[in-house]
Chains A and B, each alone.
Chain A
């Protein structure tokens, strides 16, 4: 469970990126965060695993007060939260499997860590994770020979191998073509439903958000302006989140994407 109470995030330069956020996300929910560029979506997501520090209020994740964690505790805390990025963030010059195995690195004893010797069990888990996202046959291929969609799946497998309770995804399909984007979204949906992992995803395509997520959080200028079931989202809600003029554009964009 993730609980925001009066959370505020002010960047050192004085910019107020999140203002008085109050909401609760239960285990197993699939949440899409939408809003204009610069609204504070990335900031919102990054506060959850403490990639950013909040400046006021309390944020509780799985019964842990996030702001109170120190040094080693932060790293331990992050082990249970997976994160997916728009740019995949993989080591491109090594194999797929080695990239997935990275998620076991913090658990290794020192000598194994130095030589990069993973246990058979860990290799099995990594391979199973690759199997779950459907690229088992690419395990020994170098990442730079994969397509964008496949690379995002490697990132997803790396996160799954972590065996997380929560997956945070910051625009995971923004650099993929519409068809591949749909496939990756399917993977997320499968993971959410079959493994009961909470998924919180920033996404620019409203139609994808509405099609896949159960719950939509709309952020505008650092404030939550909408929070409810995806079925409740209609044009006036979008107008509210995006401001009148843009929302029509956003819908049109989405419609175009769906027809490709």
Chain B
């Protein structure tokens, strides 16, 4: 289509051969980007002047976070543990549920294409929904507290792990599966012995990776009342008690660091 609007230029070589030079997309792309930028500046009210004049406020806040309020630490343990519990439970249950869901979404195992497409669509929608939004909805149903956060993480984990898992299953080697089906195993049995071993290491590794990310998400879920340390964060910022915010962020950073390294260690062992 592009070639029709911007006709390729003809170049004739000295020996008479003709080459069609494709028009470069670059100027068009740059123009679109420029227009989009101007438009965005307009819509968002972006102003360099405000930044220059008031950016110091940002650093004032940052400055007040240091030194952090160490005395606040004892009050942090409980919410911090809640955050970890939420992500652990949500990830574990989510990863377990993801397995049957992924099977339902694999076109090479499930013969009904309607089921497969519906499950895939639902997974995409679930994956797209930001965790904070599903946590917010969950607080309305399950009340304020860790339960809502766990549900949000649970749902996201299903969507994330199941997507990567069904891609794996669909790309798995089917020879053994077909052989087993032909000697009379049920589809589930054939899956268990022929495909599951192929995708297992990746499944575990994906689940661990998802857990890592979930710890980060879980830390802010408290902001919408879904339990964990996020509640204290929003309190600290609301009351402008930045030294408290500082210590929370520090503890959070350390926790995330430890969990990421532990999980990375095990993931490397898996693959």
Residues of A at the B interface (CB closer than 8 Å) are 120, 123-124, 127-128, 131, 136, 139-140
Contacts and interface: CB of A to CB of B under 8 A. Distances in A.
A35 B13 CA distance: 42
Interface in B1-57: 11, 13-15, 17, 19, 21-22
B19 A136 contact: yes
21 contacts: A120-B11, A123-B11, A123-B21, A124-B11, A124-B13, A124-B14, A127-B11, A127-B13, A127-B19, A128-B13, A128-B14, A128-B15, A131-B13, A131-B15, A131-B17, A136-B13, A136-B17, A136-B19, A139-B19, A140-B21, A140-B22
Contacts of A131: 13, 15, 17
Contacts of B19: 127, 136, 139
Interface string B192-235: 00000000000000000000000000000000000000000000
Interface in B119-168: none
A98 to B, nearest CB: 11
A200 B17 CA distance: 31
Nearest to B24: A116
Nearest to A128: B13
Interface of B: 11, 13-15, 17, 19, 21-22
Given A127-B11, A131-B15, A139-B19, 17 more contacts: A120-B11, A123-B11, A123-B21, A124-B11, A124-B13, A124-B14, A127-B13, A127-B19, A128-B13, A128-B14, A128-B15, A131-B13, A131-B17, A136-B13, A136-B19, A140-B21, A140-B22
A123 to B, nearest CB: 7
Contacts of A140: 21-22
Most B-side CB within 10 Å, residue of A123, A127, A136:
A127
Majority SS of interface residues in chain B?
loop
Contacts of B13: 124, 127-128, 131, 136
B8 to A, nearest CB: 9
B144 to A, nearest CB: 51
A139 B8 CA distance: 14
B9 to A, nearest CB: 9
B43 to A, nearest CB: 31
Nearest to B22: A140
Enumerate the 5 nearest inter-chain pairs by beta-carbon distance, A residue then B residue, closest first: A140-B22, A127-B19, A128-B13, A127-B13, A139-B19
A120 B13 CA distance: 11
Contacts of B14: 124, 128
A131 B17 CA distance: 9
Contacts of B22: 140
B13 to A, nearest CB: 6
A127 B14 CA distance: 10
Contacts of B17: 131, 136
A128 B17 CA distance: 9
Nearest to B8: A140
Contacts of A120: 11
Nearest to A97: B21
A140 B22 CA distance: 8
A126 B19 CA distance: 12
A136 B19 CA distance: 8
A136 B17 CA distance: 9
Nearest to A137: B19
Q: Which of B14, B15, B19, B22 has the most CB of A within 10 A?
A: B19
A52 to B, nearest CB: 38
A139 B21 CA distance: 9
A136 B14 CA distance: 13
A12 to B, nearest CB: 40
Nearest to A139: B19
Contacts of A127: 11, 13, 19
A57 to B, nearest CB: 43
B7 to A, nearest CB: 15
Contacts of B11: 120, 123-124, 127
A123 B9 CA distance: 12
A131 B15 CA distance: 10
A120 B10 CA distance: 11
A120 B15 CA distance: 16
A127 B15 CA distance: 11
A58 B234 CA distance: 77
A170 B14 CA distance: 32
Nearest to A123: B11
A189 to B, nearest CB: 20
